[in-house]
């Protein structure tokens, strides 16, 4: 069992059908617990009813709330989620939010250092706040042996080229979706004709150990220690993509911890991502048996 420290937002996704607890760092941590890992979450919620419910929801997944703080500086985070005709989600993120006001008190810093996490997870959204970038830099110092996994997760009006230039060199491992590779190449004015070309060039530029690019139901591409693979996915009927990428990230990091080869990691991460996509919640009670029961023959139209 490995130790995971996830830093960033926990919030409520407000769907047309109702509220669901979410936020990529929380979703990642929750799925890590389902894979048998110890997961810590460094975040904050407001001193409001949503904050109380969020703490209860985090605990219910097995994720420790030891480092989830309460603050009066802002309300618990919320995101309004809608879907286009293709079923792709669109987000309106309410800021400022409680997770913008995380504190790293000396006792918390000591406890994190003593926990010796194997993987430190961070994303882009939480790091748009200077306070949180300072905390991330401190965590890197506190956990020098932890592999740093950066899930890019670009959201409209919540990133910039300058921010990515700060975050991308901090990563040992990084995840994009296919659309995000186009955005990043435009921001950095360094384009490549193939996903493999992108992975190799940017990996060399930023000294990443691993790069993964998710492609929805088509699967993923992974560059790991110089080995490049493309692994087909597991299409599911009526997919709900919210949280699927976070589950993929958890499974990817699980495979890294198990020292699996790139192809096996991609196969496993695709299964876990597809299982979450097959359910309406970003965090659900899936099992490994559920994941391994998926077959590509179940793809629509096959």
Q: Is the pLDDT of residue 297 over 70?
A: no
How many whole angstroms separate alpha carbon 261 and alpha carbon 256? 8
Domain boundaries defined on the chain:
3-298
Pair 99, 126: CB distance under 8 Å: yes
Query: Does the pLDDT at position 300 exceed 90?
Result: no
Q: List, for residues 110-154, the tens digit of each pLDDT value.
A: 999 999 999 999 999 999 999 999 999 999 999 999 999 999 999
- CA 207 to CA 222: how far, in whole Å? 15
Q: How far apart (Å, rounded) are the C-alpha atoms in residues 117 and 94?
A: 30
Select the more confidently predicted residue: 298 or 201: 201
Residue range 58-79: average pLDDT?
96
Q: Residue range 35-45: average pLDDT?
A: 96
CATH superfamily of 3-298: Ribokinase (3.40.1190.20)
Report the pLDDT averaged over residues 274-287: 84
pLDDT for res 250? 97
When the pLDDT of each residue in the chain is averaged and rounded to a whole number, the result is: 93
- Express each pLDDT in 212-263 by its tens digit: 999 988 999 999 999 999 999 998 877 777 789 999 999 999 999 999 999 9
- 91 pLDDT band, cuts 50/70/90, is confident
- Per-residue pLDDT reduced to its tens digit, 154-200: 998 899 999 999 999 999 999 999 999 999 999 998 899 999 999 99
Look at residue 264 and tell me whether its pLDDT is greater than 90.
yes
As beta bridge partners, residue 292 has none
| CA separation for the pair 270, 255 (Å, rounded) | 12
- Give the 3-state secondary structure of residue 3: strand
Q: Is the pLDDT of residue 298 over 70?
A: no
**284: pLDDT confidence band, cut at 50, 70 and 90?**
confident
């Amino acid at each position: 069992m490995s130790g995971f420290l996830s830093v960033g937002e926990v919030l409520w996704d407000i769907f047309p059908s109702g509220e669901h607890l979410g936020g990529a760092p929380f979703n990642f941590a929750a799925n890590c617990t389902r894979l048998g890992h110890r997961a810590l979450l460094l975040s904050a919620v407001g001193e409001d009813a949503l904050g109380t419910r969020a703490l209860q929801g985090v605990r219910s997944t097995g994720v420790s709330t030891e480092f989830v703080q309460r603050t009066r500086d802002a309300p618990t985070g919320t995101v309004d989620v809608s879907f286009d005709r293709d079923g792709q989600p669109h987000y309106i993120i309410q800021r400022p939010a409680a997770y913008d006001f995380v504190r790293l008190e000396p006792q918390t810093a000591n406890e994190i250092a003593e926990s010796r996490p194997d993987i430190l997870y961070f994303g882009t959204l939480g790091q748009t706040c200077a306070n949180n970038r300072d905390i991330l830099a401190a965590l890197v110092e506190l956990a020098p042996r932890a592999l740093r996994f950066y899930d890019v997760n670009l959201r409209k009006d919540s990133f910039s080229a300058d921010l990515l230039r700060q975050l991308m060199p901090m990563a040992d491992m990084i995840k994009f979706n296919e659309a995000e590779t186009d955005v990043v190449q435009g921001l950095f004015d360094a384009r490549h004709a193939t996903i493999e070309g992108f992975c190799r060039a940017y990996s060399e530029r930023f000294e990443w150990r691993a790069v993964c690019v998710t492609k929805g139901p088509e699967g993923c591409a992974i560059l790991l220690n110089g080995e490049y693979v493309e692994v087909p996915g597991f299409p599911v009927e009526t997919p709900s993509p919210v949280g699927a990428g976070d589950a993929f990230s958890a499974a990817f990091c699980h495979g890294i911890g198990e020292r699996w080869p790139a192809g096996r990691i991609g196969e496993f991460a695709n299964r876990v991502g597809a299982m979450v996509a097959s359910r309406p919640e970003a965090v659900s009670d899936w099992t490994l048996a559920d994941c391994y029961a998926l077959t590509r023959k179940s793809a629509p139209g096959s």
